[in-house]
Structure 1
Amino acid sequence: MIDLATKVRFLSDARSYPHAASFVVARQTHMSWVFLTEDRVYKLKKPVRYPFLDFSTLDRRRFFCEEELRLNKRLATNTYCSVVPLRCTHDGRLNLGGQGRTVDWLVEMKRLPRADLLDIRLREGVVTEADIRKVGELMAEFYSAAPPEIEDGNLYLESLIREQTVTRAILGQPRLGVSEAALPVLDVADERFTQLTPRIQARIEAGRIVEGHGDLRPEHVYIGTPMQVIDCLEFDRSLRIIDPYDEVNYLGLECAMLGAGWVRPVLLDLLEAHLGGRPDDEVLAFYGSFRMLLRARLCLAHLLDRVAREPSRWSRLALSYIGAAKEEFSFPSRPVRKLNHSHAGA
């Protein structure tokens, strides 16, 4: 039995790779180990099981590696290369893609220049409106080509209900230090959700829901050449069944968290020009608040690890997201504002 630590040690050694590599940088996430060489990235899924995913068996890890490759080929064809077996010979030596029994699977990708990821460009103030319009065009064409999810459209509504319930359960824990700020916002979000459910259901019945990216954040948008969107959410299809306006609105909000509030209206207007059927401002405000509260919850999930890394950072970031969720509703009772179209630095 080859344990995870042995695999990580092997993959952290530059000599392990079939192509020339002079260094390897290993990074750990909740779900994976990622190994970066000069021009390649290899992702090894951890053998973990959570309520929201199951990578606990070799067959499941292979399946989700293949899903990751298939799904990301939609928006990042040039970056996602293959699924590579990690094998062990009869004398216990590990190798990538060679002989022996398969002990794990990795996704192989080309390494993109980090400087051209949207989050980095936004922090450096070097994003133009033309860049954002290209992102909007790419996503609008992607959604336009996607078949409407009418039969499976209720997965979207079910995931909103499920995720909001989990978000309340986590943000409401006093020991995590944000419940006083979060609970009033959650109360308003739940009330608005109840009011708006018939409108969301009508969007499902009208064929407005598609299978999207599932995790559309600035750090997943590459604005080099060719423009690509990477790191699609592969482990739960129901989380990819989404209203395109929800997904693009979320990207705009994450850009606003980086100081670029002008991005969101540009993206939404482009999407409307391509797809039509824009939701009213109350629905968009709920979508935004839901996503910001979800992001706050995901920040706090780091505090639930056995060893919490940078706890003060995650608490501070969670409170920022809760503040953004509150702002979406012009909290507590002011009317929802129209999104403005002014921006700076474009």
Structure 2
Amino acid sequence: MPVTIEEKLDALRNPAIYGNAAGEVKAVETHMSWVFLVGDEVYKIKKPVHFPFVDFTALEAREHNCREEVHLNRRLAPDVYLGVVALVRRADGFLALGGPGEAVDWLVRMRRLPAENMLSAVLIAGGADGITADRLTRVLADFYRKAERSPLSPQEHVQCFESQQAQNRQVLCHRDFDVDAQAIRRVLNRIDECLHALRPLIEARVAAGRFVEGHGDLRPEHVCLTEPITIIDCLEFSYLLRLVDPFEEIAFLGMECAFLGVPEIGRELFARLGVALNDTIAPELYQFYSAFRAAMRARMALGHLVYGPATNRAAWEHKTDRYIALAGHFLAMPELAAVSIRGM
């Protein structure tokens, strides 16, 4: 008889499953996973969900994703990702982590990081400065220099942007939610205009070999300002979304810092990364990357309501509107506004 997700979660909430030394277990639910904080370690189990962008309904898919998560995240967090462990049903019917028995699910096992050292927490506390930007730039520049170059053509990369924009429209134009529909339409239309106008710049970046296999989800809550800096939770389930211009990832991180009320960090990272990589992009392309990522994050926020039963509906609607407003802010920057008009 199959083991239900409720039975699995009940077992993982029990300290006994982690061994005699385990103390209190704290369970945290995310959009696609359940995370269990146990002392100095973290265990993550994937939900058996099926979204347009990922399908975890099969046990084999969840196992594969766990192994990909460990493999890919060891690029920037080699000492954090400890491995993959099976949740097994023993001969006596009880569930256990590892050991003999039938594997009924798989978990990622990690070392727990200090919450107060996450960049998001440091930003909120007002502790980020130029030294922080310098340290982070050195880590990211080294990562991008060593990263695999994208195998896609310039046209294929533009098609990836167009595909993501189509998904933005599909989700954000739902009429069932209390969001600013007029602002959403305005932002999405402007993104279409800017993507058309800036297509030659994007294609030139790809042709010059500047697109790499990056992190894919570079947000402040994924950056831990330990020594050395550790960056976790890359976008393991989509190779295409990990193929990025390094400045696009920095724009994403800067946009998220601005969302937390600290926009200057993004500007500092942009300038420092250009020096470190001996590279740069036009200001209007950087602003476009920022706006595009803000629209994608608005889509992710509203997607919690579109694709599943999320609690606190008003909070997700408010978050959607905030990201759309931030996208509008970047689109209204003088460099990008001028390009948009010329490209029409």
Answer with 176-185 or 62-71: which moved more. Answer: 176-185
Letter in 1 for 2:53: F
By how many angstroms is 1:214 displaced?
0.5
Describe the superposition over 1:260-311 as per-residue Cα deviations: whole angstroms up to 9, x where unpaired. 1110121111211122332211211211111011111111112225533111
Inter-partner Cα distance in structure 2 for 1:95 and 1:105: 11
1:340 alignment counterpart = none
TM-aligned CA distance change 1:306 to 1:205, over 3 Å: closer
The match for 2:53 is 52
Alignment partners' CA distance in 1, 2:20 and 2:41: 9
The corresponding residue for 1:344 is none
Query: Structure 1's 252 and 130: CA in aligned 2 closer, same or farther, altered over 3 A?
Result: same
Matched residue, 2:327: 325
Given that 1:150 and 1:205 are in contact with CA atoms closer than 8 Å, whether structure 2 keeps it comes out as no
Map residues 76-115 of structure 1 onto 2, 5 A cutoff.
76-115=77-116
Matches within 5 A, 1:306-345: 306-330=308-332, 334-336=334-336
Whether 2:70 is the aligned partner of 1:32: answer no
Q: In terms of mean alpha carbon deviation, does 213-222 or 183-192 score higher?
A: 183-192
Question: Structure 1 residue 141: deviation in Å?
Answer: 0.6
Identity of aligned residues (%): 39
More deviation, 310-319/298-307: 298-307
For normalisation by structure 2, the TM-score amounts to 0.93
Q: Counterpart of 2:176 in 1: which secondary structure?
A: helix
Instruction: Note the C-alpha offset of 1:22.
Output: 0.8
Equivalent position of 1:207 in the other structure: 209
5+ long unaligned stretches in structure 2:
338-344
Q: Contact between 2:118 and 2:225, CA under 8 Å: does it hold in 1?
A: yes
Per the normalisation by structure 1, the TM-score is: 0.93
Letter of the 1:239 partner, please give it. Answer: L
Distance 1:218 1:106 in 2: 24
Structure 1 portions without partners, runs of 5+: 338-346
- 8 Å CA contact 1:140–1:271 kept in 2: the answer is yes
Q: Which residue of 2 aligns with 1:268?
A: 270
Instruction: Report the AA paired with residue 318 of structure 2.
Output: R
Residue 130 of structure 2 is matched in structure 1 by 129
Give the alignment's Cα RMSD to 1 decimal: 1.7
Q: Is the 8 A contact 1:171 1:178 kept in 2?
A: no
Superposed displacement of residue 36, structure 1: 0.6
User: How far 1:336 sits from its partner (Å)?
Assistant: 3.7
Which amino acid letter does the alignment assign opposite residue 190 of structure 1? D
Q: In structure 2, what is the equivalent of residue 242 of structure 1?
A: 244
SS of 2:316 mapped into structure 1: helix
Cα distance change on mapping 1:134 and 1:307 into 2, 3 Å: same
Q: Are the counterparts in 2 of residues 86 and 94 from structure 1 also a CA contact under 8 Å?
A: yes
**Per-residue displacement from partner, 1:99-138 (whole Å, max 9, x unpaired)?**
1111111000000010100001111111221012111110
